[in-house]
Amino acid sequence: MIPFQYARANDVADAIKQIAADPSAKFIAGGTNLIDLIKYDVEEPTRLIDISHLPLRSIEQTSTGGVLIGAMVPNTDLAYHPMIEERYPLLARAIMSGASQQLRNMASTGGNLLQRTRCFYFYDTATPCNKREPGSGCSAIDGVNRINAVLGTSQACIATHPSDMCVALAALDATVHVAGPAGARTIAFADFHRLPGNTPQRDTNLEPDEIITAIELPPKGFSANYSYLKIRDRLSYAFALVSVAAALELDGDTIKEARLALGGVAHKPWRSSAAEAALLGKRADATAFAQAADWLLHGAKGYGHNNFKIGLARRAIVRTLGQAARGMPQSLSDKKIR
Amino acid sequence: MTSYIGSATSRVDGRAKVTGEARYAGEFNVPGLVHGYVVESTIPKGRVVRIDTGGALEVDGVLEVLTHRNRPPMADNDLAYKDEVAPEKGSPYRPLYDDRILFTGQPVALVLADDWETARVAASMVKVEYQKEPHVTDLHAERSRAFAIDAPEKPRGDAAKAFASAAVRHAAEYFIPTEHHNPMELFASTAIWEDGRLTVYDKTQGVQNVQKYLCGVFKMKPDEVRVMSPYMGGGFGAGLRPQYQVVLAVLGARALKRPVRVMLTRTQMYALGYRPASIERLALGASSGGTLESMQHETIAVTSQFEEFARNDTGWGNLLYKSPNAKFEHRLVKLDLPTSCDMRAPGAATGVYALECAMDELAIALKTDPVQLRLQCYSDRNQGEDVPYTSKQLRECYRQGAAEFGWDKRNAEPRSMREGSELVGWGMASGVWEALQMPATVRIVLTANGHAEVATAASDIGTGTYTIMAQVAADMLGLPIDNISVKLGDSTLPQCPLEGGSWIASSVCNAIANTARAVRGDLLKLAKGMKDSPLAGAGVDEVALIDGKIVSKRDANRAVSIASAMQSGNAERITREEVNKVDEDKSHARNVHSAIFAEVKVDEELGVIRVTRVVNAVAAGRILNLKTAHSQIMGGVVWGIGMALHEETLFDHHFGRVMNANIAEYHVPVNADIHDIKVIFVEEPDEIVNPLGIKGLGEIGIVGVAAAIANAVYHATGKRVRDLPITLDKVVQFE
């Protein structure tokens, strides 16, 4: 841990100005991940720019019928917001599956997208890690990798994205609104997080001098047929081994539209257009779900301890799609898997 | 007057704890306090070649950086470092002593600064160069190098031959990974150096153990060192031996001549002791009728390269089950790790887990109900010593536990019970632990206003020692419990052993009884000195102290109030100090027992396990406090669930490091993992074990729980998982 300066940003423009002026500065909102990383000497910002007071705390309906969520909305407020609970219950359930009440109270919507990836070695500065020190090597590939990725990995990195909320946002086709010195732009959710490739040090396509201002949800919330199922090593307060966000639009038994995203298995929430296309026009049954699972898991590769994740994910996908099709989403209070 | 003993009395220290009035080792603030932060070794084995402390020393607020090169003097012989519970064989670790690196996480420097944050920042600037040496941390890879230690249990008959000719056999290996204690309170010590005298507030289960240790390490006289630990946020065995932070705090205080506090981080605590990983091999041979012919139990467990720590893993079968032939072996593997240590029910938590899973597997091979098999093999004698028990109500534990659980409705066939997508399994196991006493001295100071102070150097590690002592003293002195104050956790108080092994309740309570008797004798003397004393001619055991009075047991009308007796004798206070009588009698075995019944529900496709019901029926002699006793056993069951399903310290053997050294990634159960837990205390009057019939409850709650759950998982799924923890990928073969 190193000493850092603390400054508060007055508005978005001020925040951008401050971060542009100091390449070793970092924004801090809820701090639920960044503070841990600073304590572990993984992140060493010399200046923290507090953006938690920025006026980005509203949840509003957009003119096109979607919802715009301010980047500073706490996770708890988002999950309990009547409009989210009613129209986007998949998002509410995903948020409530993650962390603990105290952490969700602190964590911001924008910050949730910017959690660093999960890997024992990334957090342990005594071991080589390409994400921390590009070129030093990946210790996880031949190491303790039960929690690591099976999809979209590279020789450089097999870390996983830790968020639950992002898995739902990916499935819902959210858009990320960002602002920077050159003005505002939007990034499709699928393009926001990156695969490790040869540059595992970069988790997202957000530029260092950009700030997330809002997340936009399109009108369609799949509130009738959805489920978020999180499989983990204990029944609460643990990261996902595998999580599945599933959303369906049904016409009787027939699938008109499908969304499917995985957490805990890749460097980003994992979607496949082929998997979703494979479901279109099909009867919502286990055969179709299994085919979608095969598409979604195409190319999956285990690294030893995490081999089981592939088979687990296949079964979890089928199960979650079944829950969604039956209109019986996974309950959070009853830990029994439906 | 109601009796406090046996009642569900709320903790006398509860208010102090919830209001923050109760202070812990890291909370004693003194003017000019200096904060220390530990720099740890990043390698498991080798030497420190160079330490560059220049950068750290330049940080504003940093006072000093201590290393093995510039630390104050310390003792240079092993004996000085051997605390009461140090293994007999080996050289105890000496913190910051020399350039040798013995394990990852070993302290190599202590940064001392005006505040903790500054010390932490500066610690990250200390640069250490090492000369690495090849290391080993993997028990499985090194098992061929295991060496036998003196077997605690003698063999009987010819176990190998009897096994070979047994009608029904079961042999298998079980594995329990390394586990860490993870008490909620971080290890901390505050050392105050004043005029050549040392006062230390330490997180420890034994203030006098630490006091003697510090006297040895720093060559000080007993009256120059005082160690205090009034409260503890969980010990579980981690605080039995003096931990390195106490040495570092004293080194810092000595170097700077200022008070120093060293508090470890959660991650640093993974370089303290741990429950050793162990491979347990069981071989059971039975007659076709279902009685044991042969019992063999071999353990291979982890210790450090420099000490040989071992506990009794293998001997528990001798207590539970009759077998004419038996053989036991305990072997150790030395690894480049800190020395393993006691952790709740050391030896039994692991050994009984393996034994009770093996008995389940034998029952299946015999097509016998698991409870029935245990009754058929029931032993009324400790076969190792060939002696009967002071009491053993284990049959009643099986009966009451089974009745409460509804065991008679069990379909023996695996995978035969289901609820929707979940398979339901019922399993059971036995538990056993020791019922020991150790010598303890209790001082009672009774004042004329009817208040009594009861004192001994025990630690209350969160189990309720303050409360049970107040209860027993109140009953023995005939005073309301509010008139009793209990003082613990100070090395200057009368001698008391470490709080461990489940022996504190029996030891201190029997000592209270003896001291109270002496006080009663003094009071009787004073009462007899009164004019026309109604107690004239009465002996000390012919009177009792009841409701503030000295009362004849024969005639309750013959009584003198304590106040008037003391007033008439001009006695402002009566001070007495007595020890408990620790029986040398070897004619009986002294044990506590339990029967655990568990229900699991396992998602058939996904392998997710829920422990939906546990019944733990315990026979542990006299129960002093139903409320704290219930909590104690419930906590043991919760831990047993964690042991069965969650807990595992993950090592990267290439680096020789713990990779999940935090409580986000080292999993213990959370509320969602815990459902119904029912605790039953089976009546067990015992006049032999000790005068008050107390057996102790500290360990028994966890023993057997993991086995009951593992057996239930088998019953649910038909899949036998012998390697803990039982994670979903071990239950289901994911293709």
With CA atoms as reference, report the closest residue to B507 among B524, B488, B521.
Answer: B488
Cα–Cα distance, B469 to A287 (Å, whole number): 66
Cβ-Cβ contacts under 8 Å for A153 (sequence gap 6 or more): A196, A266, A267, A301, A303
Interchain pair A1, B671: CB under 8 A: no
The DSSP code for B159 is: H
Interchain pair B608, A311: CB under 8 A: no
The torsion angles phi and psi of B489, rounded to 5 degrees, stand at 65, 40
Contacts of A311 in chain B (CB under 8 A): 733-735
Q: Mind listing the pLDDT tens digit for each residue in B293-352?
A: 999 999 999 999 999 999 999 999 999 999 999 999 999 999 999 999 999 999 999 999
The DSSP code for B222 is: G
Q: Residue B585's pLDDT band (boundaries 50, 70, 90)?
A: confident
**Å from A69 to nearest chain B CA?**
29
| Mean pLDDT value of segment B67-90 | 97
**Å from B332 to nearest chain A CA?**
25
Nearest residue in A to B607, CA atom: A312
Report whether pLDDT(A308) > 90: yes
Report whether pLDDT(A100) > 60: yes
Q: Could you give the C-alpha distances from B432 to A61, A73, B356, B621, B696, in angstroms and in order?
A: 63, 54, 11, 13, 12
Cβ-Cβ contacts under 8 Å for B416 (sequence gap 6 or more): none
Interchain pair A310, B734: CB under 8 A: yes
Report whether pLDDT(A114) > 70: yes
Q: Residue B153's pLDDT band (boundaries 50, 70, 90)?
A: confident
* B284: amino acid identity, one letter: L
Q: Give, in degrees to the nearest 5, the angle at Cα B270 between B264 and B276.
A: 140
Q: HSE of A267 in the Cβ direction (CA atoms, 13 Å)?
A: 25
| Mean pLDDT value of segment B522-541 | 96
| Mean pLDDT value of segment A206-223 | 97
**Å from B360 to nearest chain A CA?**
26
pLDDT at residue B227, rounded to an integer: 98
The DSSP code for B154 is: -
Q: Which of B121, B421, B672 minimises the CB distance to A2?
A: B121
Q: Mind listing the pLDDT tens digit for each residue in B479-519?
A: 999 999 999 999 999 999 999 999 999 999 999 999 999 99
Cβ-Cβ contacts under 8 Å for B73 (sequence gap 6 or more): B219
Interchain pair B121, A3: CB under 8 A: yes
Q: Extract the tokens encoding B642.
A: 């964690």
| Mean pLDDT value of segment B694-703 | 97
Contacts of B733 in chain A (CB under 8 A): 311
- What superfamily in CATH does domain A226-326 come from? CO dehydrogenase flavoprotein, C-terminal domain (3.30.390.50)
Its ipTM equals: 0.97
Interchain pair A236, B120: CB under 8 A: no
Q: HSE of B291 in the Cβ direction (CA atoms, 13 Å)?
A: 8
Cα–Cα distance, A289 to A276 (Å, whole number): 10
Interchain pair A139, B735: CB under 8 A: no
The torsion angles phi and psi of A47, rounded to 5 degrees, stand at -150, 130
Nearest residue in B to A38, CA atom: B121
Cα–Cα distance, B643 to B628 (Å, whole number): 22
Interchain pair A234, B655: CB under 8 A: no
Instruction: Return the H-helix or E-strand segment holding A94.
Output: helix A89-96
Report domain A5-50's class. Answer: alpha beta
Q: Which of B651, B672, B735 minimises the CB distance to A235?
A: B672
Q: Where in chain A is the domain with CATH 3.30.43.10?
A: 5-50
Mutate to test the interface with A, among B115, B121, B270, B606 (most CBs of A within 10 A): B606
Query: Is the separation of the CB atoms in A165 and A107 below 8 Å?
Result: no
Nearest residue in B to A2, CA atom: B121
* B479: amino acid identity, one letter: L
Report whether pLDDT(B201) > 70: yes
Query: Is the separation of the CB atoms in B113 and B35 below 8 Å?
Result: yes
| Domains along chain B with CATH numbers | 25-134+184-234+239-271 (3.90.1170.50), 278-436+586-731 (3.30.365.10), 438-579 (3.30.365.10)
| Mean pLDDT value of segment A102-114 | 98
Cα–Cα distance, B513 to B359 (Å, whole number): 41
| Mean pLDDT value of segment A163-176 | 98
* A291: amino acid identity, one letter: Q
**Which A residues, 279 through 308, put their C-beta within 8 Å of a C-beta on chain B?**
307-308
- Percentages of chain A per state (helix, strand, coil), in multiples of 5: 30, 20, 50
Q: Mind listing the pLDDT tens digit for each residue in B8-58?
A: 999 999 999 999 999 999 999 999 999 999 999 999 999 999 999 999 999
Q: Residue A2's pLDDT band (boundaries 50, 70, 90)?
A: confident
Nearest residue in A to B43, CA atom: A126
| Count of all residues that appear for chain B in the document | 735
Interchain pair A124, B659: CB under 8 A: yes
Report whether pLDDT(B421) > 60: yes
Mutate to test the interface with B, among A39, A144, A239 (most CBs of B within 10 A): A144
Higher pLDDT, A332 or B122: B122
**Å from B59 to nearest chain A CA?**
10
Contacts of A307 in chain B (CB under 8 A): 734
Contacts of A143 in chain B (CB under 8 A): 652, 654-655, 659
Cα–Cα distance, A232 to A237 (Å, whole number): 9
Mutate to test the interface with A, among B178, B604, B608, B663 (most CBs of A within 10 A): B608
**Å from B726 to nearest chain A CA?**
10
Interchain pair B606, A236: CB under 8 A: no
| Mean pLDDT value of segment A74-90 | 98
Cα–Cα distance, A230 to A237 (Å, whole number): 11
| Count of all residues that appear for chain A in the document | 338
Mean pLDDT of chain A: 97
Q: Mind listing the pLDDT tens digit for each residue in B425-444?
A: 999 999 999 999 999 999 99
User: How, if at all, do strands B559-561 and B549-552 pair?
Assistant: antiparallel
Residues of B with active-site annotation: 699
Contacts of A2 in chain B (CB under 8 A): 121, 124
Is residue A328 less than 8 Å (CB to CB) from chain B? Answer: no
Q: Residue A141's pLDDT band (boundaries 50, 70, 90)?
A: very high
> Any idea which residue has 């940003």 for tokens?
A9
Instruction: Return the H-helix or E-strand segment holding A167.
Output: helix A165-171
pLDDT at residue B150, rounded to an integer: 82
Query: Is the separation of the CB atoms in B398 and B685 below 8 Å?
Result: no
Packing angle, helices A308-326 and A286-296, rounded to 10: 140
Q: Where in chain A is the domain with CATH 3.30.390.50?
A: 226-326
Interchain pair A234, B422: CB under 8 A: no
**Å from B618 to nearest chain A CA?**
28
Q: Which of B603, B651, B727 minimises the CB distance to A337?
A: B603
Mean pLDDT of chain B: 97
| Mean pLDDT value of segment B461-487 | 97
**Å from A246 to nearest chain B CA?**
17
| Mean pLDDT value of segment A189-197 | 98
User: How, if at all, do strands B381-382 and B325-335 pair?
Assistant: unpaired
pLDDT at residue B2, rounded to an integer: 64
Query: Is the separation of the CB atoms in B251 and B72 below 8 Å?
Result: yes
Interchain pair A338, B654: CB under 8 A: no
Cα–Cα distance, B100 to B306 (Å, whole number): 12
Q: Which of A3, A144, A147 minimises the CB distance to B652?
A: A144
pLDDT at residue B1, rounded to an integer: 52
Handedness of CA B655, B659, B662, B663 (dihedral sign): negative
